[in-house]
Amino acid sequence: MDIFLYLFFFLHPAAIQVQITPAQGEISVGESKFFLCEVTGEVKDIDWYTPSGEKILHSMQDLSVSRSDEVTSTLTIYHANVDSAGIYKCVARDGEKEAQATVQVKIFQKITFQSAPSPQEFTEGDTADIVCNVVSSPPPTIIWKHKGSKIQASKDVRYKIMANGHLQIRGIKKTDEGMYTCEARVMARGEIDFKTMKVVVNVLPTIRARQFEVNATADIGSSALLACDADGFPDPIVTWTHNNVVLEEGDKYSLNEDGSELIIKDVMKVDEGDYTCIAKNKAGEKSQEVSLNVFVQPKITYLNNKTAIEFDEEVILTCEASGDPTPTISWSSESKIFTEGETFNKPVAVFHARVSSLTLKNVQFTYAGQYLCIASNSIGQDSQSVYLEVRYSPKIQGVVASYTWEKNPANLSCEVDAHPEASVVWFKDGSHLPSANTTNVKIYNMPTVSYLEITPESQIDFGNYNCTATNDLGSESKEFILIQADVPSAPDIQQVEPFSSTAMVEFKEPDSTGGVPVLKYKVEWRFPGEEWARKEYSKDDGELCSNIFYLGFTFSVSAGSSRLKGCLSCKHIHKTEHMREPSAPKLEANVADEGNSLRVTWIKQDDGGLPIIHYLVKYKAKHVPEWKPEIRVPSLSEHTTLNGLAWNTEYEVHVVAENQQGRSEPGIVSIKTAAQPTAIPGSAHGGSGLGTGAIVGILIVVFFLLLVGVDVTCYFLNKCGLLMCIAVNVCGKAGPGAKSKDIEEGKAAFTKDESKEPIVEVRTEEEHSPNQEVKTPSSEPNETTPLTEISRRPRL
């Protein structure tokens, strides 16, 4: 049997068997995979064939075949793609014997996000197409989510999932911004993948000018601020243009951090115009125009001095000025302002835009001087002076007559007004001064006056003198007179009022001063038969008062100038009065600062020939009959102050002077005190009102007393408070609300008057009403026990 089998296998060799592992193959696109072909039996060749039947060589692209031993061969597919799918065949050969096996390779596309960029930006209001390009085999199902919630296009018409898987949002809003999820699913494989992307919604800028027109002043070194406020997302960048030129920061322009504010430095007229503010971001740009109005302060550009000759028909002064708004031009001279229009023989002012002329008719020498041109507009003014020079012949002025006496120098003043300056000469009796034989004459020439100093030596030096002034335009002469001065005439005594020791003299000035002003008066008086007493008084004294201690006296008055003494008046004989009481003082009263005080001052009159001892002051309100106590004031005092008077009340004040002969008649004055003010005068300055410290102290005391009152109330009513604590802890006593020993013994409480009946009857704990039950000690009331019927009995 064994031999038979041997012969069978030897004569009939075993058949070849081929097996491929794995038997099936699924490869994702881009992946690599190998297949092992195992042969049973002896073979010479093992070959692989592509699905198209092409034998795979060792070096084919993306395909590789390798034989590791006599019975195995490996097929490797690298980076599989869709074209790699099909049935691959492994064939084993040995001579005429052949065997083969096949394996089907399937290529599938995994979920792959080809394009799902993040972030994706859109402009508000546009139709947004959110890109999510996904490939797989079979094609995937796309689901979109926003902020974790599935987007249901069927419920919101703004959303639409496109055929290519993109999400379309119509009229996208800023609220649509956020994170979106693109989820892809392949049901056949249970495969799922997703991508999250950020969606940004940009908002087109809005821009508004803070001021559509900005005013600035040129040529004064000032700056102008132009500002636009811009909103948008992302934050827009703001730029400025002027005349289509982008403005950049530098010496002329300055920008803030976000560019919203443009500062134009050192504004000039050429800076005027429209400036464009542009706000730009990813969503677009918006612009707004701002106008800069540049005003120019007035500036006088033309004004020249002029020269005219007296009696010319006219002279014209011209003033030109620039500025924006166009300035108005006015003229003035000293305090005079010229108005537009013509008046006969008066200056005429004519105004035109930026130009004004001032025409002076019939030129007079008084027209010479400065004229002010004033150019003004709404933002300022400019002024300049122009000088009008008027050339005229000399004009002589000065006092014609002068008085002096022999050996006393005198000046004749020849005041000359001329342009150009005039030369001055003096003449006497046709002879030029000073002459060779005159030594008592001197001439002092000044620019506008010539002084002729004459010291008369004899009558020949008095008389007429001629002053002649000459310049290029003519000459003028004037006569001056030097007159010999005389003594003043005697004063005319009008009235003499004698007193006990003095006399008041009133007189009229002399009818003639002799050509020289009176400087002083001399008074002489004497007792009959005695020598004259003399005293001089200044001319300014209107009344002359002398101390005379005689019952009868004679006096006279004379006037005198520098060296000339006048005649004495006629002698007058008068008699002084006997020593007597003083005359009433003259009073004056004023309301003092306090308002209810009066300051009374007096002027001493005739003392009656004896010294004043003191003054007596009394006063009263006019509506009451009683006088206030009399006040005695020392004789040297001239005032007193009455304090503490009633407000808004009229007072009558009497002041009496007293000497050894008696009291004078009272000097009387009436005055009303001030109305009472709403606040005490002087309180703001630390017066009689309470100070801040005193008020604070009073408030603290009141607050302390209030606390003590509250504590005492709590002590007596509620058995609490600071006093209760002191009574219990220090004194060992219960408060007045506690049960005392007397109460426990059933005694009654009496008032301080023991004769009265008890206020209330109080029962102890041990006493019970007939209908009460006896309670055990454990049931004794405490702070939380409800009141019994007896304990609720009201107190009387």
- Kindly report, residue by residue over 597-636, the tens digit of the pLDDT: 999 999 988 888 888 999 999 999 999 999 999 999 998 8
Q: Are residues 565 and 509 in the same domain?
A: yes
Residue range 339-367: mean pLDDT, rounded: 74
Domain final residue, candidates 235, 266, 295: 295
Strand (E) positions, 362-448? 369-377, 380-397, 401-404, 410-419, 423-428, 431-433, 441-445
Q: Are residues 279 and 340 in the same domain?
A: no
Q: Could you identify the residue written with the tokens 């002398």?
A: 546
**795 has pLDDT over 50:** no
**348 has pLDDT over 90:** no
Residue range 397-406: mean pLDDT, rounded: 90
pLDDT band for position 477 (cuts 50, 70, 90): very high
The candidate with the shortest Cα–Cα distance to 660, out of 586, 609, 606, is 609
Q: Give the torsion through C-alpha atoms of 541, 544, 546, 552, to 10 deg.
A: 170
In-domain check, residue 791: no
Q: Is the dihedral of CA 269, 270, 273, 278 positive or negative?
A: negative
Rounded-to-integer distance, Cα 661 and Cα 678, Å: 50
In the chain, the percentage of residues whose pLDDT exceeds 70 is: 80
pLDDT band for position 188 (cuts 50, 70, 90): confident
**272 has pLDDT over 50:** yes
In-domain check, residue 700: no
Q: Could you identify the residue written with the tokens 């020849």?
A: 414
- pLDDT (0 to 100) of residue 494: 77
Rounded-to-integer distance, Cα 543 and Cα 537, Å: 9
Q: Are residues 567 and 621 in the same domain?
A: no
Residue range 673-692: mean pLDDT, rounded: 60
User: Would you tell me the crossing angle of helices 722-729 and 692-717 to the nearest 10 degrees?
Assistant: 60
Residue range 749-764: mean pLDDT, rounded: 34
In-domain check, residue 736: no
Q: Are residues 84 and 143 in the same domain?
A: no
C-alpha Rg value of the chain to the nearest Å: 67
- pLDDT (0 to 100) of residue 276: 95
The candidate with the shortest Cα–Cα distance to 467, out of 436, 422, 435, 437, is 422
| Length of the chain measured in residues | 796
- pLDDT (0 to 100) of residue 558: 59
Helix (H) or strand (E) segment spanning residue 7:
helix 2-11
**765 has pLDDT over 50:** no
In a 3-state reduction of DSSP, which class is residue 541? coil
Tens-digit pLDDT profile for residues 523-569: 887 777 778 888 887 776 654 544 444 444 555 555 655 555 655 55
User: Cα 446 vs. chain centroid, distance in angstroms?
Assistant: 58
Tens-digit pLDDT profile for residues 146-184: 988 999 988 889 999 999 999 999 999 999 999 999 999
Give the CA distances from residue 643 to residues 220, 555, 625, 651, 672, in Å, rounded to whole numbers and listed in that order: 64, 49, 20, 12, 13
Q: How many domains does the chain have?
A: 7
Q: Could you identify the residue written with the tokens 């070194």?
A: 221
pLDDT band for position 756 (cuts 50, 70, 90): very low
Q: Are 690 and 608 in contact (CB under 8 A)?
A: no
One DSSP character per residue, 458-497 reads SGGGSEEEEEEEEETTEEEEEEEEEEE--PPPPPEEEEEE
Q: Are residues 171 and 253 in the same domain?
A: no
10 Å CB burial of residue 598 (0-12, 13-18, 19+) is buried
Mean pLDDT of the chain: 81
- pLDDT (0 to 100) of residue 728: 64
The candidate with the shortest Cα–Cα distance to 588, out of 675, 634, 653, 663, is 653
Q: Are 521 and 557 in contact (CB under 8 A)?
A: yes
Other C-beta atoms lying within 10 Å of the C-beta of residue 572? 15
Residue range 132-137: mean pLDDT, rounded: 90
**767 has pLDDT over 80:** no
pLDDT band for position 503 (cuts 50, 70, 90): confident
370 vs 4, more confident: 370
In-domain check, residue 375: yes
One DSSP character per residue, 206-269 reads EEEES-SEEEEEESSS--EEEEEEEEEESPPEEEEEETTEE--SSSSEEE-TTS-EEEE-S--G
Contact residues for 529 (Cβ-Cβ < 8 A; gap 6+): none
CATH of the domain at 274: 2.60.40.10
The candidate with the shortest Cα–Cα distance to 511, out of 542, 490, 487, 541, is 490
Rounded-to-integer distance, Cα 402 and Cα 413, Å: 9
Other C-beta atoms lying within 10 Å of the C-beta of residue 562? 12
The candidate with the shortest Cα–Cα distance to 372, out of 362, 381, 361, 363, is 381
Q: Are residues 248 and 233 in the same domain?
A: yes
Q: Are residues 22 and 88 in the same domain?
A: yes
Tens-digit pLDDT profile for residues 295-338: 999 999 999 999 999 989 889 999 999 988 889 888 888 878 88
Rounded-to-integer distance, Cα 144 and Cα 151, Å: 6
In-domain check, residue 737: no
In-domain check, residue 723: no
Q: Are residues 416 and 364 in the same domain?
A: no
59 vs 27, more confident: 27
Residue range 273-299: mean pLDDT, rounded: 92
pLDDT band for position 687 (cuts 50, 70, 90): very low
Other C-beta atoms lying within 10 Å of the C-beta of residue 177? 20
Q: Are residues 224 and 270 in the same domain?
A: yes
Per the DSSP assignment, residues forming a β-bridge with 668 are 654
pTM for this model (two decimals): 0.44
Rounded-to-integer distance, Cα 627 and Cα 623, Å: 11
Tens-digit pLDDT profile for residues 769-785: 334 433 333 333 343 33
Give the CA distances from residue 434 to residues 398, 437, 610, in Å, rounded to whole numbers and listed in that order: 20, 8, 66
Other C-beta atoms lying within 10 Å of the C-beta of residue 789? 9
Q: Are residues 78 and 92 in the same domain?
A: yes
The parent domain of residue 570 ranges over 492-575
Domain final residue, candidates 575, 608, 637: 575
Q: Give ∠ CA 271-273-276 in degrees, rounded to 5.
A: 105
Rounded-to-integer distance, Cα 429 and Cα 414, Å: 17
- pLDDT (0 to 100) of residue 727: 65
Q: Are residues 221 and 270 in the same domain?
A: yes
In-domain check, residue 693: no
Q: Are residues 104 and 174 in the same domain?
A: no
In-domain check, residue 742: no
Rounded-to-integer distance, Cα 632 and Cα 38, Å: 158
**574 has pLDDT over 70:** no
Other C-beta atoms lying within 10 Å of the C-beta of residue 508? 10
Pair of tokens at residue 764: 């102890």
Give the CA distances from residue 340 to residues 317, 688, 730, in Å, rounded to whole numbers and listed in that order: 14, 66, 105
Domain final residue, candidates 357, 391, 425: 391
10 Å CB burial of residue 783 (0-12, 13-18, 19+) is exposed
10 Å CB burial of residue 419 (0-12, 13-18, 19+) is buried
**423 has pLDDT over 50:** yes
Residue range 41-56: mean pLDDT, rounded: 88
Contact residues for 364 (Cβ-Cβ < 8 A; gap 6+): 310, 311, 390
